[in-house]
């Protein structure tokens, strides 16, 4: 039995994104368990076949094999893809992330908006679908209900790992700077809500509070330019705000090592990786009250907010109250968060049962 792992998009992409992080880390931990039984594959739409992404060999899927894709796709851009899986009889599974393009089409990549409805419909033709949160799974079920689909795969959740960085390495390196450094991680776009965070920070700076605000993320070419301009205007006005659009894991590690806490006031997420990755490193986080995360985290280490006023109050508290931030930091260090090894094990449990 082999487990074929779809890397059709991620094998050729150079961008750092949450989806690529999911694909890369899950593949890494699956390979550490399965060895050469984990085979990364890419789909060739012209030949309508899979091939080994490393050896380039054509793959013949068998009924005894398992196949999983963490990618977003549709039968519109991968003709023959679903039919090939069905005809082979392979045990197929997909990882579903979110329905954001359907909920927020005005601020989502046009290509994603166009293809996402078909993608969510195509998922019903797999034998199993993992959702990265219960809220994402509920969205998928609601979509299928609206389509009137009667034949559906089995469903379960797949909690993503928090351990992207080595916690033991950063524990000795972490030395929060003064004035406090606040860190926001995510692509620069309206959904991530950096504009709101900058407005709140500006009010606190004007009120005399001293802190730095660092944004780390590439610029969304469709929607990110106005936010980039707003950050640059605030910088020219003398505010200590910094934009790192050419991000790297090394840069992000350095900023984590200096951060007092992180802020993630995104409007919508399938899961919310930056929150759990921050907490894994022992760095508290102020987060939007996301349906994907609120059932998982109930600790002083993660302060959930539901309004701009609550966000401002939370920032003010952790910037000015040393006891509060120390309590939150200590709580972060005590959290029992899922690792990518846990995620891989959950997926492998499915292969053993199917």
Q: Are 110 and 225 in a shared domain?
A: no
Kindly indicate the confidence band of residue 249, based on its pLDDT and cuts at 50, 70 and 90: confident
Are 323 and 184 in the same domain? Answer: yes
Q: Where does the pLDDT of residue 209 fall: very low under 50, low under 70, confident under 90, or very high at 90 and above?
A: very high
What sign does the dihedral 299-301-304-308 (CA atoms) show?
positive
- Examine the domain organization and report whether 125 and 194 are in the same domain: no
Which own/partner contact pairs does 322-330 have at CB distance under 8 Å and 24+ positions apart?
A: 325/260, 325/261, 325/284, 327/300, 328/261, 328/284, 328/300, 328/301, 328/303, 329/282, 329/283, 329/284, 329/301
Q: Are 282 and 260 in contact (CB under 8 A)?
A: no
> Order of strands, edge to edge, in the sheet holding 128-131?
58-59, 49-52, 38-44, 3-6, 66-69, 91-96, 128-131, 154-157
Domain match, 173 and 312 both: yes
- Say what the pLDDT of residue 125 is: 97
Residue 188: DSSP 8-state: B
Same domain, yes or no, for 286 and 324? yes
Averaged pLDDT of the chain? 94
Indicate whether 251 and 143 sit together in one domain: no
Return the pLDDT at 173. Answer: 65
User: Can you give the pTM of this predicted structure?
Assistant: 0.94
Does residue 122 sit in the same domain as residue 184? Answer: no
Residues 172 and 151 in one domain: no
pLDDT of residue 283 exceeding 90? yes
The boundaries of the domain holding residue 220 are 167-333
- Looking at the structure, do residues 31 and 138 belong to the same domain, yes or no? yes
Indicate whether 152 and 171 sit together in one domain: no
Whether 60 has a pLDDT exceeding 80, the answer reads: yes
Task: Indicate the pLDDT class of residue 246, thresholds 50, 70 and 90.
Answer: confident
Same domain, 140 and 17: yes
Question: Quick one: CA dihedral 12, 13, 14, 17, positive or negative?
Answer: negative
Which CATH number goes with the domain that contains 85?
A: 3.40.50.2000
What is the number of domains present in the chain? 2
Kindly report the number of other CB atoms within 10 A of residue 114's CB atom. 14
If asked whether residues 18 and 147 sit together in one domain, one would say yes
Mean pLDDT score, 298-325: 96
DSSP letters, 150-186, are ----EEEE-PPP--SS-HHHHHHH----SS-EEEEES
Check whether 193 has a pLDDT greater than 90: yes
Strand 212-216 with 181-185, pairing = parallel
Q: Report the alpha-carbon distance of residue 281 to residue 252 in Å, rounded.
A: 12
pLDDT of 147 above 90: yes
A 10 A CB-CB count for 64 gives 10
152-166, 246-260, 313-327: which range is least confident on average? Answer: 246-260
Say if strands 58-59 and 49-52 run parallel, antiparallel, or are unpaired. antiparallel
Which pLDDT belongs to residue 299? 83
- What is the 3 state secondary structure string of 78-132? CCCHHHHHHHHCCEEEEEECCCHHHHCHHHCCHHHHHHHHHHHHHHHHCCEEEEC
Q: What is the pLDDT of residue 148?
A: 97
């Amino acid at each position: 039995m082999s487990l074929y792992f779809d890397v059709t998009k991620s094998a050729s992409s150079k961008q750092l994104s949450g989806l690529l992080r999911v694909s890369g880390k899950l593949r890494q931990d699956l390979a550490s368990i399965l060895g050469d039984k984990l085979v990364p594959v890419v789909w060739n739409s012209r030949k309508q076949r899979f091939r080994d992404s490393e050896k380039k060999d054509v793959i013949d899927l068998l009924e005894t094999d398992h196949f999983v894709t963490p990618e977003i796709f549709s039968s519109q851009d991968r003709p023959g893809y679903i039919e090939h899986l069905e005809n082979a009889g392979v045990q197929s599974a997909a990882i579903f992330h979110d329905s954001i393009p359907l909920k927020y089409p005005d601020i989502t990549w046009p290509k994603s908006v166009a293809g996402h409805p078909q993608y969510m419909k195509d998922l019903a033709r797999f034998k199993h679908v993992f959702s990265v949160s219960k809220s994402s799974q509920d969205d998928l079920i609601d979509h299928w209900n609206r389509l009137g689909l009667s034949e559906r795969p089995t469903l379960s959740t797949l909690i993503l790992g928090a351990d992207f960085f080595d916690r033991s390495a950063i524990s000795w390196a972490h030395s929060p700077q003064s004035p406090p450094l606040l860190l926001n991680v995510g692509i620069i776009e309206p959904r991530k809500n950096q504009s709101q965070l900058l407005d709140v920070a500006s009010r606190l700076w004007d009120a005399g509070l001293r802190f730095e605000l660092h944004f780390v993320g590439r610029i969304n070419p469709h929607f990110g330019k106005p936010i980039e301009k707003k950050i640059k205007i605030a910088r020219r006005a003398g505010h200590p705000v910094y934009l790192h659009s050419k991000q790297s894991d090394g840069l992000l590690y350095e900023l984590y090592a200096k951060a007092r806490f992180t802020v993630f006031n995104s409007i919508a997420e399938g899961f919310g990786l930056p929150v759990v990755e921050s907490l894994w490193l022992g760095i508290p986080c102020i987060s939007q009250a996301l349906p994907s995360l609120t059932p998982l985290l109930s600790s002083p280490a993660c302060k959930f907010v539901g309004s701009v006023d609550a966000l401002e109050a939370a920032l003010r508290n952790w910037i000015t109250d040393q006891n509060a931030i120390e309590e939150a930091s200590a709580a972060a260090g005590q959290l029992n968060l899922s690792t990518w090894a846990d995620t891989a094990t959950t997926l492998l449990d499915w292969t053993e049962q199917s």
